[in-house]
Amino acid sequence: MFALITFGIVFVVFYLYNTRTFKYWASKGVKHDRPVLLFGNNAKNFLMKQSRSQAMEEMYWKYPKEKVVGFYRSTTPELILRDPELIKQVLISKFTHFYSRGFHPYPKVVEPVMRNLFIVEGDLWKMLRQKLTPAFTSGKVKTSFPMIVERAEKLQSRTLDAVKSGVIDAKDLMSRYAIDFIGCCGFGLDPDSLNNDDSEFRKLGNDIINIGFKDYAIVVLKEMFPALTQNLKLFGRVEKRAFSLVKQIQDRKGNKPSCKGDFVDLLLEYKQKGPIEIESLEKCLPDGTPEKVTFEFDDILVMAQTCLFFVAGFETSSSTTSYTLHQLAFNPGIQKKVQKEIDEVIAKHNQKLSYDAIKEMTYLEWVFKEGMRFFPSSGHLTRVCCRQYSFDDIGLTIDAGVRVIVPVRALHMDPKYWNKPEEFRPERFHPDEFTATQKAVYLPFGEGPRTCIGTRLGLMQSLAGLAAVLSLFSVEPAPESVRFPDVNPTSDLVQSPKGGKLPLIFKRRK
C-alpha cells in the first residue's frame, strides 16, 4: 500500500510539473494544438518520425490564417512566426531582445565543441563575431579563390574517374569537394578527401553529422529534462577527435600563425594576443553604458571555431550543391541553359575558372538560389526571447525564455509569396521579379546580426563547384532517384536527404 501511495504521489508531482506550462498559449489567445504529457506537441520529432523543420512546417500549414502559432516542445513554449513583419522584428530590428539561439539553457555548462560562434550567446558571441568577421570579407574570398579553383579542378578529375562506375552519389561527391576546400582554405592543409576515404577530416565530419540513436536520445532528454541533463555531452565522441586534429594543425604551424593567412592562423593570432576587451551586450553600468568584458582565445575556443568552420563549410555546401544538381537532373532544359552560360563565360576567360568568371555567371547563381529555396540547409531558425517583448501589431506579449521559430522551408514554399512554388524556376530571382516581400521570407543564410558569417565564401565555393561539374558533365536521374527526396527525420540544424544520398547519372558532355 505504501509503495502504491508513493507511486501515486510521484506520478501526480510529475504530471503537474510536466503540464505546468500547457496553458501558456491559451492564456494569450494564440492558436495551437492541444499538448500531451511528456511530448507537448513534439511527439513525432522525439520519436524520430519527423525533423524539427518538418514539425514547424506542419504547424505552419495547419493554421494558414494566423500570423503566429503556438507550439510546445515538451514543456517549452515556442512561437512559430508566419508573418514577414514579425520575422523582421525578431531577426533584425529588435535583435537585442532575441540575440540568443537557446541551444543551452545553462550557459555555465557548455561542452567544449559547442563553444562556437553559431551556438554561444551574449558577450562571447559578440566577441567571436567581431573577431572572426575579417576572415570572411569579399577581399578575403577573392584572395582565396585560386585555392577554390584548384579544388574544383580536382573535383572534375574525381568525377571523370567515378563516371566509369555508373551511378554517382552527388551528395558524397560534393562533400568531398567541400572538405578539401575547407582543409586548404581554412587550415592550410590538403586532406585529399576527393581521393582518400580514410581522411581524418572525413572521419570528423561523419562523427559530427551522423547522429546515432544514443545521440538522439541525449537530444530528447535535454529537451524534456534540461535541469537534470545539463552535464550530458552530445558531442563527447567528437571532442577527442576534434582536439587531436586541431593539435595536429597547430603543431604543423609551430603553434603560431603562418604566412598562409588561413582561418586557423587568425585564431592563433588572437590566441597569442591575450585578453580581448569588448563592450558587453548583456551587462550595463549604473549610468546605462555597457560594461567592459574580457575574453581569451584558449585551446577550447580555437578547437570549437575550427569545428564550426569545418561543419558549416562542408555539410551546408554539400547539401545545397548536390540538391541543385539533383533538381537540374529533373529539369534538363534549365540544365542546358545554365551550361550554355558557363561555356560562354569560361570561353571569355581563356577556358579557366576565376573569381571574375564566377561573378559573371548570373543564371548559375539564380539556379543555386532556387536550389536553396527548395532545400535550405537550415530548414528553420531559432531565437529565444531574452526579456519580455510585445508584438504590438498583434497585441501579443511573450516572456523571457520563450523560443521563437522562423519556419524557413515553409516560407520558401508558400504560394502566398511565390508563384507556383513547386516549380523549379531560377528566373524568379531576376532582379525585376524578386520582390521585397520575397526577399523578406527568403532566408537560406538567416538574416540580421546572426546571419551566416561565411555567406560570401560559401556562395563562391558552391558556384565554383557547380560550374566545374556542369562544364564537363550533364546529370540525369538514376533509376533509384526520387523527384522530391524526403528530409532525414533525425536531421536538426542542417537538413539532409533521407538516406543521406542523392544518386545521379553523370555523363561526359560532348
Three-state secondary structure call for residue 210: coil
Q: Supply the pLDDT for residue 104.
A: 67
One of 3.40.1440.60, 1.10.630.10, 3.40.190.10, 3.30.420.40 is the CATH number of 2-508, namely 1.10.630.10
Sign of CA dihedral 117, 122, 128, 134: positive
Q: Determine which of 52-61, 300-309, 346-355, 372-381 has the lowest per-residue pLDDT on average.
A: 300-309
Q: Supply the pLDDT for residue 348.
A: 95
Q: Supply the pLDDT for residue 224.
A: 76
CA separation, residue 314 to residues 423, 460, 491 (Å): 27, 13, 15
Contacts of 26 (CB under 8 A, 6+ apart): 32
pLDDT tens sequence across 413-425: 999 999 999 999 9
Contact assessment for residue 426 and residue 366, using Cβ atoms and an 8 Å cutoff: yes
Contact assessment for residue 485 and residue 504, using Cβ atoms and an 8 Å cutoff: no
CA separation, residue 235 to residues 29, 125, 210, 437 (Å): 39, 20, 11, 39
Distance between CA 418 and CA 441 in Å, rounded?
Answer: 10
Mean pLDDT of the 442-453 span: 93
Q: Which residues of 375-397 are buried (b: 16+ CB within 10 A; e: fewer)?
A: bbbbbbbbbbbbeebebeeeebe
Confidence of residue 249 (pLDDT cuts 50, 70, 90): confident
Is pLDDT above 90 for 34?
yes
Is pLDDT above 60 for 94?
yes
pLDDT tens sequence across 341-356: 999 999 999 999 999 9
pLDDT tens sequence across 57-91: 999 999 999 999 999 999 999 999 999 999 999 99
Q: Supply the pLDDT for residue 35.
A: 95
Confidence of residue 209 (pLDDT cuts 50, 70, 90): low
Is pLDDT above 90 for 113?
no
Q: Supply the pLDDT for residue 105.
A: 59
Is pLDDT above 80 for 251?
no
Q: Which residues of 305-339 are buried (b: 16+ CB within 10 A; e: fewer)?
A: bbbbbbbbbbbbbbbbbbbbbbbbbbbeebbebbb
Contact assessment for residue 112 and residue 236, using Cβ atoms and an 8 Å cutoff: no
Q: Determine which of 136-145, 212-221, 241-250, 317-326 has the lowest per-residue pLDDT on average.
A: 212-221
Is pLDDT above 80 for 22?
yes
Q: Supply the pLDDT for residue 13.
A: 67
Distance between CA 448 and CA 433 in Å, rounded?
Answer: 23
Q: Determine which of 87-96, 281-290, 498-507 has the lowest per-residue pLDDT on average.
A: 281-290
Neighbour count for residue 65 (Cβ, 10 Å): 6
Is pLDDT above 70 for 208?
no
DSSP string, 301-339: HHHHHHHHHHHHHHHHHHHHHHHHHHHHHH-HHHHHHHH
Torsion of CA 146, 151, 157, 159, to 10 degrees: -130
Q: Supply the pLDDT for residue 115.
A: 87
Average of per-residue pLDDT values in the chain:
87
Confidence of residue 330 (pLDDT cuts 50, 70, 90): very high
In the chain, the percentage of residues whose pLDDT exceeds 70 is: 90
Sheet strands side by side (includes 503-508): 167-169, 503-508, 473-477
C-alpha cell at 465: 563547384
Neighbour count for residue 254 (Cβ, 10 Å): 9
Distance between CA 181 and CA 175 in Å, rounded?
Answer: 10
Please tell me which residue, 289 or 424, carries the higher pLDDT value.
Answer: 424
Neighbour count for residue 363 (Cβ, 10 Å): 19
Contact assessment for residue 382 and residue 53, using Cβ atoms and an 8 Å cutoff: no
Q: Supply the pLDDT for residue 462.
A: 94
Is pLDDT above 80 for 1?
no
Distance between CA 295 and CA 70 in Å, rounded?
Answer: 38
CA separation, residue 195 to residues 151, 156, 165 (Å): 12, 12, 15
Contacts of 145 (CB under 8 A, 6+ apart): 354, 355, 358, 460, 464
Mean pLDDT of the 373-384 span: 93
